[in-house]
Amino acid sequence: MSATANDSFAALCQALFEQHFARVYRVLQRFSGEPELAADLTQDAFLRLYQRGSPPDAPEAWLITVGLNLMRNAKSTQTRRARLLAADDDPAGAASTYANEGDSEQEERVRSVLQAMPERDQQLLLLRSDGYSYRDMASALELNEASVGTLLARAKHEFRTRYEGAVDAFGQ
C-alpha cells in the first residue's frame, strides 16, 4: 500500500475506534462482567482491524464478531484454568470466575439470569440493547437474518420470565 493509502486507512481506523470503541466495549463488558478483560479484548479487536491493512465490508459487524470470538476464546481459557485451580485449592471452581466482588445485588441478579440463558440469546440481547442492526447481529452470531426478530422476542421474554422467577424465589 502507498503512504497515502496507509495514512487514509490509519485515519479510517482511528475514526472507527472513536465511533465504535464504547459500543464494542459495553457489549463485551456486559457479557463478561469484567471491565479489564473487556477493555483488553476491545483494544485487541481494533488492533486486528489495524493490522488487517484494509477495511472490511461491514466494519461494525466485523469488529463485534472479532470481539465476541476473542471473548469466547478468553472464556474457555479462563474456564479451563479455573477447573485446574478448582482441582487444587478452589472449591468454588469455574462458577466463581466471573463473579466480581462488590457487585450490586441487582447486577448479580441480572448477571445470574443472563448467564443461565443460552449464549446466543445473551448475545442477541446485549447486541440489540446497544442498537446493533439485524444484519450485524445475524453476521456476528451466524444467524439467518430473517429470524433475528423472532429469536430476539424469545430471548427478551425468556429473560423477563427468569428474572421475575428469581425475584419471586428471593421474595423481593
Q: Which residues bind other proteins (CB under 8 A)?
A: 10, 13-14, 17, 21-22, 25-26, 29-30, 33, 35-36, 38-40, 42-44, 46-47, 50, 104, 106-107, 109-111, 114, 125-126, 128-129, 131, 133-134, 146-150, 152-154, 156-157, 159-160, 163
User: Mind spelling out the 3-state secondary structure of the chain?
Assistant: CCHHHHHHHHHHHHHHHHHHHHHHHHHHHHHHCCHHHHHHHHHHHHHHHHHHCCCCCCHHHHHHHHHHHHHHHHHHHHHHHHHHHHHHCCCCHHHHCCCCCCCCHHHHHHHHHHHCCCHHHHHHHHHHHCCCCHHHHHHHHCCCHHHHHHHHHHHHHHHHHHHHHHHHHCCC
Nearest residue (CB) to other proteins, 90 versus 158? 158
> Closest approach of Cβ 29 to other proteins, in Å?
6
Nearest residue (CB) to other proteins, 26 versus 90? 26
> Closest approach of Cβ 77 to other proteins, in Å?
20
Nearest residue (CB) to other proteins, 2 versus 144? 144
Nearest residue (CB) to other proteins, 50 versus 119? 50
CA distance 72 to 43: 15
> Closest approach of Cβ 35 to other proteins, in Å?
4
> Closest approach of Cβ 119 to other proteins, in Å?
15
